[in-house]
Structures are given as structure tokens and as C-alpha cells.
Structure 1
Amino acid sequence: MPQRPPAPSFEELLDSAQAHALHLELRDVYAVGEEREVYDAFLRDGSVPADDSDYWSGWLPLVQRTVARGVKVRRARIVSEPVTDYIRFEHAITDANLRAGEQVRWLPRRRASTLALPGNDFWLIDDRIVRWNLFSGDGQALEPDHTDDPSAVKLCVEAFRSVWDLATDHADYRI
């Protein structure tokens, strides 16, 4: 059986986008290793990384150049309330995402009860490819997966649209 190629990197995905790059986040806690120091600082004193810090060095320029080509980059987060410390951290750093050109909305989990949602976070590029962001039970990032299967793409298109339509814009979402 032929080995499946690895999931495209974020850079490959966003560089290939022509209309939109949509990201749905479903977890209340992430334990991504490269965030540990910044997250610990936030817990200690509420500090957030500056836009020109190493923390953002790969992501913000990638989003900026993607948006500059006319691609809409949207991120929707489904969160439990009251929110976890990690979601408070995400909320605090989201202004950097906005300055880079992302649009971000928040949906309280209680309002998502009737929505058909996939089992994992994902990025959807131009309604043609899905990159599944996979995590262990304790929030550690695992190897991502991807698909261009039409039924999976359709699920993600519909899920993102339904979440986006119900969600609150970042500027109006209070934690």
C-alpha cells in the first residue's frame, strides 16, 4: 500500500489559497510546546508577545502576505464558558491576529449544540482541502492529517459556515 504524503504545512496551505483559508478551533486547552514560555508568562503577569517577537515571526508575516493577495483568513473558536486560562490567553493575543488581517469570531459551546461539527480542529482552503489539526487528550500537538475527500470538505464547509454565522466578532466577545 502506498504511503500517504504528509499533510501540507501552514505555509504551503496559505500560499496555495486563492479565496479563503478558514480555521475552526474546538478545544478549550492546547499544550503546544512552542507556546509554553509565552503562555507561562501570560499566566504569571498577563503579558502577551509583541507582534515582532519570535513567537509571531513565522505566523504573522504569512497571514499578512496571504491577506495582501486578497485571501480571506478567518478563524472561529468554539469555547466553553466560563473560559479556561488557555482561552483567556488566546483571547488576549488575538489582537495580533487581527492586525495581521485575520478575522476572528468566538462561539460559546452551549450555542453550538445543534451544529454538525467534525471531531477535530481544521484548516479549510478554498473548499478543496482540509488539514486536520490533531491533538492528544492533554492538548499536545500530534502529526496533522489532510484530505480532499468531497464529503469531508463538505462537512467542514458547512460546519465553518454555521459556526461563523452564530459566532460573535472578537471585538464584541467578552470573557
Structure 2
Amino acid sequence: MGLLTGDDFERLFATFTTSAFRLETRDRYREAKNESAPLRRFLAGEPDDMEWLRFWLDLVRDHNAHGRTIRRVRVVSHPFTDYTRFGLAVAEHNNAAGDHIRYLDRQEADRLGLPHYDWWLFDNRRLAFVHFSVDDVLRGAEIVTDPATVGQHGEWRDLAWEHSVSREEFLNSGA
């Protein structure tokens, strides 16, 4: 199995034409190149200028300006991990840029029969199974275009979106 990595993986986010959706199922992610210092600052209660996220936020704004949507559902466990708390804080900026992130309790995701792995669905035609190392570092994405597999993930996307809630609703629910 060949994995898309680096620029080839990033190209997925520049080339979709209508929609991108991600199901995030992990309690922790490690992006050594850009998230380790912001996570450390967050845990220390230090301010963050979000400069490390500027490329993504600008990309999201551009997609939205051209009528393309980016949506995500984050499946979360209780109690929250440090990374989940960090992600909730950062999501305020993502959502403001148009990266629509919603939340779903892990027990509800299990009840719904959602898969326990991360994936992106682009334009309802291209599925990217996201692979990680044992220490939570992104390894790359495996691309699948089989219509039945893509269709099943489209159904899971709709189910996850329907049962998830906005960041604000999630935080206000006492999660």
C-alpha cells in the first residue's frame, strides 16, 4: 500500500472542488513540525498568536470564498486528553475561518457504528484513509476510489454530522 505524504498529501486539500469531510477518531495527534510548541504553550497557559495555523486558516477561507466546504466531526473520549482540550481551544479559530468542526461523544459514535479510524472524503469521490504511527504521528493517506467504499463513508459522514454538535453546544453541554 502506497501512502501519500508531504506535498502529495497536502495537494488533496488544494484540489478538491466542492467538499472535504474528515472523521477524527483519535484522542491524540502529534504534528512535530507545527503543533508541539503551540500545545506546550497551551498546557502552560501561555498566549498563542496562532501564526503556526495561518496557512490552514487562509486555505480554508479561500475554499469558502469559492463555495467549497470543509467539515469535520471529532469523536471525543471522557475524560478529555490534553490534546482534546487543545483542539477545542484551537477549533474556535478553525470555525471562524469556515472549517466547520463539530463534536461527537465516543460512546455515541460507537452506538452509531461509526468506524474507529480517521479518514477524509473529498468531493464524494475520493476517500483518504489517514494512517498514523504507534506514537500518533501522521504517516500518510491511502487513497480509495471504489464507489461502494466511498458511498459507505458518505453515509457515515452524514450520520456523524447529524448526531454531532457545534463546539459551542458541546462546551455548553458540560462536556
Does residue 117 in structure 1 map to residue 120 in structure 2? no
Counterparts of residues 1-175 of structure 1 (less than 5 Å): 6=4, 8-10=8-10, 12-34=11-33, 35-45=35-45, 47=47, 49-51=48-50, 53=51, 55-174=52-171, 175=175
State how far apart, in whole Å, the 1-side matches of 2:25 and 2:79 are: 15
Report which stretch shifted further, 37-46 or 100-109.
37-46
Report which stretch shifted further, 99-108 or 114-123.
114-123
Unaligned runs of 5+ in 1: none
Residue identity in the other structure for 1:44? A
SS of the aligned residue for 1:113 comes to helix
**Partners of 2:3 and 2:140 within 8 A in 1:** no
**Partners of 2:9 and 2:140 within 8 A in 1:** no
State how far apart, in whole Å, the 2-side matches of 1:135 and 1:106 are: 21
**Partners of 1:118 and 1:156 within 8 A in 2:** no
SS of the aligned residue for 1:57 comes to helix
State how far apart, in whole Å, the 1-side matches of 2:160 and 2:90 are: 21
Unaligned runs of 5+ in 2: none
* Superimposed CA distance per residue, residues 42-71 of structure 1 (whole angstroms, 9 cap, x where no aligned partner): 111154x334x1x11321111111111101
Would the alpha carbon gap of residues 83 and 117 (structure 1) be closer, same or farther in structure 2, given more than 3 Å must change? same
Residue identity in the other structure for 1:15? A
**TM-score after normalising by structure 2:** 0.87
Q: CA RMSD in A?
A: 1.9
**Partners of 2:101 and 2:167 within 8 A in 1:** yes
Would the alpha carbon gap of residues 109 and 46 (structure 1) be closer, same or farther in structure 2, given more than 3 Å must change? farther
Residue identity in the other structure for 1:141? L
Aligned residues: 169
**TM-score after normalising by structure 1:** 0.87
